[in-house]
Structure 1
Amino acid sequence: MNIVELRRDLHANPEVGFTEFRTATRVVEELRRLGYKVLFGDEVMRPSSRRGVPSVEQLTVAYERAKAEGANEEILAAMEGGLTGVVATLEGGGAGPTVAFRFDMDALPIVESHAADHLPQAEGFRSRHEGSMHACGHDGHTAIGLAFAETMTHVNFNGTLKLIFQPAEEGGRGAVSMVDKGVVDDVDKLFCFHLGLDLPIGSMSGGATDFLASTKLEVRFKGVPAHAAAAPEKGKNALLGAATALLNIHALPRFSTGATRVNVGILEGGSAPNIVPDSAKMVLECRAASYEDNQDLERRVRSILEHSAEMHGLDCDIAVIGEAATAACDRELVELAMREAKEIPFFTEQLESHPLGASEDATFLMRRVQEQEGQATYMIIGTTIAAPHHNEKFDIDERILPMAVQLLERIARQTLR
């Protein structure tokens, strides 16, 4: 398996959360070819636990596109409606622990750069799906996962190797549905990782800190339309109610117990300047360094939304479209990862921790494993990046790909004994 070619193919065909139909079917095909037991679709996801699922129209367009691009239709049928998770297991020669590795697959809704100095443009693997882009390195994560899967078929080990290919990490939308389906309930040790995140190539961190818990909400305000001049008193202004909520959400106090964030990212409504707006849509998020603080912050945000609606005589519907928790990495796994990296000359710096400073829904997988008396860590594997994460010119130094596979293999050998 040529890992660079694989990563470039995935980069050229990015798919956003819950539409990873081509990507996930390819993952299934490769894993089956390698002899893994593979489960996918509703076998590894609880549909009702997904957050921020795209519209039926968006899902249908992506599904048909994947079919037109040659995706295996037998596999594709089980993923219809956005059930794009994949879990594979490989049994060792004797009894032992279950050790899992998690890889995210989704892209972002970003138009990729056409600049001549952007390597994917220059080398011919820029996104073919205009408006979608692998701008966070998940194409590299998936390629690493498949190359690692191949490597482990040549390794003698005990226990069970479990590979989790997760959809919809961006926005914190996919992990909960896999947790609720029980995919990590048998896991003794879980390793998650991310490329980049401000660590240079040659550096790695055995664990991450500063996860921010997050809740993302989509809010619909419903009022009554009226003529803005002839009968404004007969209307109920949904946009005004939403604006009231926006100002008060941003006026919430910070917490003394830890960092908190709120942000209304989208506010839209109305249809004409002479009509009292009868509908408005708001999309917002809250974040906190503590899971408990984020729950409290979310409660306060919901109170503002509901009372702003009531103040203007509106109906208000609130939906959770994404969430993430906080998590702590287990020291034993952190130290193990550092030791194994030290045995690879490429990794010249091994750090005990590195701040994430953002949200990651792998935290739900980690917390479930730890609740079941298992251990988990979230590693950061450094690589030079051409631009910041989530930027139109983002790209990774592909030299890290085989080195990351080598690191995961060494970790697997040490834990599956």
Structure 2
Amino acid sequence: MISIQDVFNHLHTHAEISWEEYETTNYIKKLLESEGVQQVRTFPDIPGLVAEIGSGKPVVAVRADMDALWQEVDGEFKANHSCGHDAHMTITIGTLLSLKDQPLHGTVRFLFQPAEEKGNGALTFVSQGLVDDVDYLYGMHLRPAEELTCGEFSPVIKHGAARFIFGEINGDDAHGARPHLNSNAINVATELNNHICGIGINPMVPHSIKMTQLMAGGKNANIIPGNAKFSVDLRAQTNEGMEALDLQLRKACNTLANFYDVEINLSIGADVAASVTNDDATEKMSEGIIAAAGKEKLKEPIVTTGGDDFHFYTIKRPHLKATMLGIGCDLKPGLHHPDMTFDFDVIPKSVEVMTQTVLNTLNP
């Protein structure tokens, strides 16, 4: 059997961004088939794969996200696993290999899902019917050091909603000597950013909204740009809070478009819903943590404004009983930091936790 360390090393050093995870797909497929897993399915038009062991009901699914982030690392833009998806895949592969030769009273389905960072990979898997017959769904995510100490586990992650909106300001350029002939898109964007900074909703709901990209102008310094592009990152702990933030943003854009006589068009680039948690699944994950790591390593639910498209599975298929395992691993300086590191020694214990959770679910 291949070592878990070798699996992680390969996945970590062969990172691929969203919707381009084809070599990762091929690597996992060949690995599982070489280990005797007979039911491995890929797709003709998208990356990702599904592996299955056992048979009959109940059907328990374990999901791993596959994609890396595109970011600057030591002066070079590259695909980089700074969100821990390489670890998630490794834990899921380890869980599969630890279960494949055990007697199973049901089916275990392993979902290696692309494009979590784009927020639409889970929706694509839902549309493929991959969870229509699933009873329990388990996911996982490494947690920063300030949330869990190394070796601690949480049975549920209560993610908030996240929405990434892309906008365009459309007007006319003007000569630098004639500013009265147009509306400067930089001024419009600046004022929009001031409006965004003033947006607020119910303070009992954790939330944030901020402009994250702004591009205007070209190579000539004597042209007043009439056009600009921008992006806005919205976060809210509830789906209702997200809709309230979105409404305020659109009101601000409409007001400024009318005042400056320009068009401001918005489109949603990604939309990740807040978590819908299930007490039954959370209890089974708690039992798995206690059995594999001990009661002292079981911690309270993690509440975070970070998002994950995992929760679209339960929103689109409400019958699913689902939860995400929070993994304490001395992760520093933080998720999405280009130099993110964590303690690899937590991975084998995480495999034990997930394995025990699946077995407890199949054999209540």
| 1:291 matches 2:201 | no
Using the alignment, how far apart are the partners of 1:376 and 1:277 within structure 2? 49
1:13-52 mapped onto 2 (5 Å cutoff): 13-33=14-34, 34-41=36-43
Give 3-state SS (helix, strand or coil) of 1:322's partner: strand
Alignment of 1:74-85 (within 5 A): 78-79=44-45, 83-85=46-48
Q: Distance in 1 between matches of 2:110 and 2:306?
A: 24
CA contact (8 A) 1:202 1:346 kept: no
Give the drift of 1:340: 2.1
1:89 aligns with 2:49: no
Aligned to 1:54: none
Spell out, residue by residue over 1:11-33, the C-alpha distance to the aligned partner (whole angstroms, 9 max, x if none). Answer: 11222222222212222333444
1:337-416 correspondence runs (5 A): 337-345=285-293, 348-369=296-317, 371-372=318-319, 374-416=320-362
Compute the displacement of 1:389 (Å).
Answer: 2.0
Q: Given that residues 366 and 377 in structure 1 are in contact (C-alpha distance below 8 angstroms), is that contact kept between their aligned partners in structure 2?
A: no
CA contact (8 A) 2:237 2:304 kept: no
Distance 1:307 1:90, change over 3 A: farther
Q: Could you say if the C-alpha distance between residues 235 and 113 of structure 1 is closer, same or farther in structure 2, counting changes exceeding 3 Å?
A: closer
8 Å contact 2:39–2:52 — kept in the other structure?
A: yes
Q: Is the 8 Å Cα contact of residues 161 and 305 (structure 2) preserved in structure 1?
A: no
C-alpha distance in structure 1 between counterparts of 2:292 and 2:96, whole Å: 19
Of 161, 177, 182, which aligns to 1:213?
A: 161
Higher strand share: 2
Q: How many residues align?
A: 358
1:338 and 1:264 mapped to 2: Cα distance? 39
- Whether 2:153 is the aligned partner of 1:204: answer yes
Give the aligned residue type for 1:97. P
1:304 aligned residue? 252
Residues 155 and 324 of structure 2 are in contact (CA less than 8 Å); yes or no, is this contact kept in structure 1?
yes
Moved more, 315-324 or 99-108: 315-324
Deviates more, 1:389-398 or 1:302-311: 302-311
The alpha carbon displacement at 1:347 in A equals 7.2
Shift of 1:104: 1.0
User: CA contact under 8 A between 1:334 and 1:352: conserved in structure 2?
Assistant: no
Equivalent position amino acid for 1:228 in 2? G
Secondary structure (helix, strand or coil) at the match of 1:337 reads: helix
Distance in 2, Cα, partners of 1:320 & 1:212: 17
Aligned amino acid, residue 18 of structure 2: G
Native 8 Å contact 2:293 2:353 kept in 1: no
Q: Please tell me whether the aligned partners of residues 100 and 187 of structure 1 are also in contact (alpha carbons under 8 angstroms).
A: yes
The TM-score, its normalising length taken from structure 1, stands at: 0.79
Alpha-carbon separation, structure 2, partners of 1:265 and 1:397: 31
Quickly say closer, same or farther: Cα 1:159–1:111, change in 2 above 3 A.
same
Q: Which runs of 5+ in 2 are unaligned?
A: none
Query: In 2, distance between residues paired with 1:242 and 1:36?
Result: 55
Return the match for 1:270 from 195, 201, 217: 217
Deviation of 1:215 after TM superposition, in Å, equals 1.1
Among residues 95, 98, 101, which one is paired with 2:59 in the alignment? 98
1:219–1:402 distance in 2 versus 1, CA, 3 Å: same
1:108 to 61, 66, 69: 69
Native 8 Å contact 1:99 1:160 kept in 2: yes
CA contact (8 A) 2:60 2:136 kept: yes
Q: Secondary structure at the match of 1:141?
A: helix
- Normalising by structure 2, we get a TM-score of 0.90
Query: Unaligned 5+ residue runs, structure 1?
Result: 42-77, 115-128
Aligned residues of 1:112 and 1:132 also touching (Cα < 8 A): no
Counterparts of 1:375 and 1:234, CA distance in 2: 59
Identity among equivalent positions (%) equals 25
Q: Tell me how far apart the structure 2 counterparts of residues 366 and 248 of structure 1 sit (CA, whole Å).
A: 34
Cα displacement string for residues 194-223 of structure 1 (whole angstroms, at most 9, x for unaligned residues): 1233312221111123x2112110112221
